[in-house]
Every structure is written in C-alpha cells, then in structure tokens.
Amino acid sequence: MNFSSSSSKLPPGLEYLNQIDHILIHQQFELVEAVTGFETSNQYKIRNKFGQKVYYAIEDSNFCIRHCCGHCRSFSMKILDNTGQEVITLKRPLRCSSCCSPCCLQKIEVQAPPGVPVGYVVQNWHPCLPKFTVQNEKKEDVLKITGPCIECSCSGEIDFEIKSLDEQIVIGRISKHWSGFLKEVFTDVDNFGIQFPLDLDVKIKAVILGACFLIDFMFFESNAIKKTKLFCC
C-alpha cells in the first residue's frame, strides 16, 4: 500500500510533515477556565516524538458561541509553525450533535494558506461507535477512522484506529492520553498522540491532524462527560 506523494506539490509550510510519523498534541491549561468554568479559546502545542515543538494551534471563536454551543461549536483553528507562519487552517461548521440521527453529522475542512482545501474529515453515522471518513481535496474517500464506544471506555488511553477504506488494515492511530486526575476532572485539557505511515501523503497527514481536533471537540471537551466517566469507573 503506497501512500507517498510528490514533494514538489507540497503546500508551503507543510514540508516538515514529510519527515515524521508521530505527532504529540498538548492542550494548554487555562487557569481562568479552571477557576471560573467559563470556556476559553483552546490552544495547543504540537510536538514531534522527541518533544520538540513544531507547531502551535490557536482556536478562533467568539465568547457567545463557546458558551451557547459548548463542544458542538463552530470554529476556525489556525496552526502556526515556529516562525509564526500559518501552515494549516481548520474550519468546523456548527452542527448539532446527535447519535440518534444521521442528519447532523460532524465535519471539518482542512486548508492550506491562502484558504486552499487539502482535505476533509466527515463523520459516518453509527449508533454507538465514532466513525469517520478521511477525504482528499477532491472529496474522494481515502481512509477510515474508527474509535471505541466512548461512554463505555474507562481506560486512561483511548485509541481511534486509522484504517484502509475497507477497514481491513490498520495503518495508524489517534490516541487520547490520560492527563492526570485533577486535569481530567476539573478541566478539559487533553493530550493526544498521532501515528501514521512515514510515506503517507503530506496533505492527508494534515487532514488526520484536523481529525484529531474534531475528535477532541466531539468527545473530550465536555467536563460533565469527563466527570461522569471518571466517577462511574
């Protein structure tokens, strides 16, 4: 299975993704949010497997939509390199969340500056399992992502498997890591790791990075959900 792409076609700023097969994502702790409970814009440090910071992600959303729509909110996420150059933009539209209806499925668009789509992540309806399709810039299906039943999972690490289209081959994973008891209970600070083939198309690597943020907002941004899961276990 060959996932490689021509380096001459790489969007500017994404060249670094060509060199790596692991990404670590650390959400930044917000003291104001922890003390007051008011949702602030999320910020993340993105590191390589050696712990070196390679990107920084900043959510762009307004106060009203954060507090009225919570983890379902629409947002634009800018991902910057160490020089402050924007290399990826994520666009998530506002859609209601419902496991009982296929009418409000979630999606995220991944762009390279200046607003050129490089791919999409779209939710696939399933009554209990998180399932997604990774698409390229032409909206052609490329990969699948499948996770466990979140409400039934009490483990410290939760894996979302990245699979071939027929879901027979696992080529990588998005893993949600345990952040520590106090952070898990009183904040929505999350840590993730992403693993994918080194020769995967750089654009698709960027789309999988976008999938990680969509998964974070859909399943791990609600403190109420976290507390219920922790104390039920």
Q: What pTM value is reported for the model? A: 0.81
Angstrom distance (rounded) from CA 153 to CA 233: 9
Q: Which helix (H) or strand (E) holds 57?
A: strand 53-60
In 3-state terms, what secondary structure has residue 168?
coil
**Number of residues written out for the chain:** 233
For the chain, domains (ranges, CATH) are 24-232 (2.40.160.200)
Angstrom distance (rounded) from CA 157 to CA 179: 10
Angstrom distance (rounded) from CA 193 to CA 159: 9
Across the chain, how many H-helices and E-strands are there?
5, 12
pLDDT at 232: 34
CB atoms within 10 A of CB 108: 25
What is the mean predicted confidence (pLDDT) over 163-189? 75
Least confident of 55-64, 68-77, 126-135, 195-204: 68-77
